[in-house]
Chains A and B, each alone.
Chain A
């Protein structure tokens, strides 16, 4: 745009700014040099100064009347701003509400998913940790009783081994070999069951495994520790007796500890969620009240 301005326009602007001391020092010095050499420019400056003087000498006009306002002039009173605390309170409550809402959402989505993922691990961990420690002595005791009974009956009852699938394929054994094998199997099964209950199913043969499964199904409400112990007992008996005469011994063990109690994180999460919900309701109600009050005040003062 400056490219299209004439030299006269540029000179006019420079002279006008020079009159008002609004010209940079460097430009002012340059103009003063030009003024010494260019009389037309000097004349132009004098005319502008005279014009400015005329304008500044214009009389100050007195007001024709007072312009003070009356209540009827403005219709109503000005909207009072003497309740700034209310604006601050509304802002604070709104922010708090959003924060609590976000915290609740995070708790529900984030903590809930984490708890669901962590729960099975916690249960199995409790079983592995608690079972050997609490029932080891009882299991050994029970196993000893069963072995004694088996040995005592061994003399009276002729040995009729129920051939299990793996054993049936073995070559015919003599009686002493069979006895030795039965004892080995019983000992192996008992040892294995103490360490891993399911190992008994594999080593004690089909009949014993079937009974063990039946027992475990019948005693669904019982703990895994009880089932493991019963399986061991049944397996030990089945190797020395006919399957029909086996009477699994149920031992009334002390009630197991509540190993399935919800993890502490779940309890904390639930409590926190409840508190957050309470805060949500309170803050939401407060926010609505503040907004309604502000709206009513605004309508009244309008």
Chain B
């Protein structure tokens, strides 16, 4: 059954059809939520909340890209959770820092390559944790666009349609986010970068 038929059935109240859509998109949604929230549990909560919200708002869906519509709901759910956290911080700054630097969470949930050695997997997890830490240091609006563009691979137009801002704003936010991430990685985690990875030695595309 194609996506539009599943959406139609879900709009008619068929929960099974909606759950098939959930299985189709849950990995994208969870990954985006994780890159925005920076924590597995928070990402899982945001993902669950987003799907519940999507199901309840399904009547208002009027066609177009279902993925973009779904990602917009996830992004809004993440924004809501971040705002709630800022109003009522549940953890101390130390705990947040430790959680951000710890590679264990990311390593546990990463899709492992069967042929990858344990040490290589550990290094990759450590680097991923460092990148995530730098991502967490970004302002929310920059983190959202850089996660959608460079982590999820969406183009500018799709991002602009998802978070309802202009294309120029998207370009500007992505550029600033990349600049900050570059500075963060080069300044704090240079030793974690791959051995053959030398930013200075890259050539022109």
- The residues of A with any CB-CB pair to B shorter than 8 Å are 9, 12-13, 15-20, 22, 32, 35, 42-43, 45-52, 54-56, 58-71, 73-74, 77-82
- Please state if B185 and A74 are interface contacts (CB–CB under 8 Å): no
B58 x A78 contact (CB < 8 A): yes
| Chain B residue at smallest Cβ distance from A68 | B19
B204 is contacted by which of A45, A47, A79 (Cβ under 8 Å)?
A: A45
Q: Residues of A contacting B150 with CB < 8 Å?
A: 52, 55-56
- Decide: A63 near B30, CB < 8 A? Known: A46-B203, A52-B150: yes
Q: Are A56 and B153 in contact (CB under 8 A)?
A: yes
Determine how close the nearest CB of chain B comes to the CB of A272; give it in whole angstroms. Answer: 43
> Shortest Cβ distance from B191 into chain A, in angstroms?
14
The CA of A50 and the CA of B201, in the complex, are separated in Å by: 10
State whether A49 and B110 are in contact (beta carbons under 8 Å apart), knowing that A12-B179, A80-B12 are contacts in the complex: no
> Which residues in B have some Cβ–Cβ distance to A below 8 Å?
10-13, 15, 18-19, 22-23, 26-27, 29-31, 34-35, 40, 44, 47-48, 51-52, 55-56, 58-59, 106, 109-111, 124-125, 127-128, 131-132, 146, 149-151, 153, 155-156, 171-172, 174-176, 178-179, 181-182, 185-186, 193, 197, 199-205
Residues of B within 8 A of A74 (CB): 15, 52, 55-56
- Set of chain B residues within 8 Å of A19, measured between Cβ atoms: 205
Q: Which residues of A contact B12 (CB under 8 A)?
A: 80-82
B109 touches A47 (CB 8 A): no
With A58-B151, A59-B128, A78-B58 as contacts: A20 and B185 at CB distance below 8 Å: no
| A67 touching B11 in the complex, CB below 8 Å, given contacts A12-B175, A49-B202 | no
- Tell me which of B106, B171, B185, B204 contacts A42 (CB under 8 A): B204
Give complex CA distance A46, B56 in Å.
46
CB distance from A10 to the nearest CB of B (A): 9
Q: How far is the CA of A120 from the CA of B150 in the complex (A)?
A: 87
Look across to chain B and name the residue whose beta carbon is closest to the beta carbon of A45.
B204
Q: How far in angstroms is the closest Cβ of chain B from A43?
A: 6
Task: Assess whether A48 is in contact with B178, with CB atoms less than 8 Å apart.
Answer: yes
Q: Is the interface of A mostly helix, strand, loop or mixed?
A: helix
Closest to A47 in B: B199
Which residue of A has the minimal Cβ distance to B147? A55
Contact of B15 among A35, A65, A69, A80 (CB under 8 A): A69
**Are A67 and B175 neighbours in the complex by a CB distance under 8 Å?**
no
Asked if B44 contacts A65 (CB within 8 A), the reply is yes
Residues on the A chain within 8 Å of B172, using CB: 13
10 residue pairs from A and B, CB less than 8 Å apart: A50-B199, A54-B131, A61-B34, A61-B111, A62-B27, A62-B109, A67-B26, A69-B15, A70-B15, A74-B52
Closest to B20 in A: A68
Cβ A69 vs Cβ B51 within 8 A: yes
Known contacts A62-B111, A67-B47, A71-B15; A46 and B201 CB within 8 A of each other: yes
| Cross-chain contact of B111 among A17, A32, A59, A67 (Cβ < 8 A) | A59
Known contacts A61-B111, A63-B44, A64-B40; can you find 8 more A-B pairs with CB under 8 A?
Answer: A47-B199, A56-B153, A60-B27, A63-B27, A65-B44, A67-B48, A74-B56, A81-B12
| Chain B residues with CB below 8 A from A65, complex form | 44
Of all chain B residues, the one with the shortest Cβ separation from A79 is B59
CB <8 Å contact, A59 and B156:
no
* Candidates A13, A45, A63; contact of B171 at CB < 8 Å: A13
Select one of A13, A42, A61 contacting B110, CB under 8 A.
Answer: A61
**Separation in Å of the B142 CB from the closest CB of chain A?**
12
Given A43-B200, A61-B30: A77 touches B179 (CB 8 Å cut-off): no
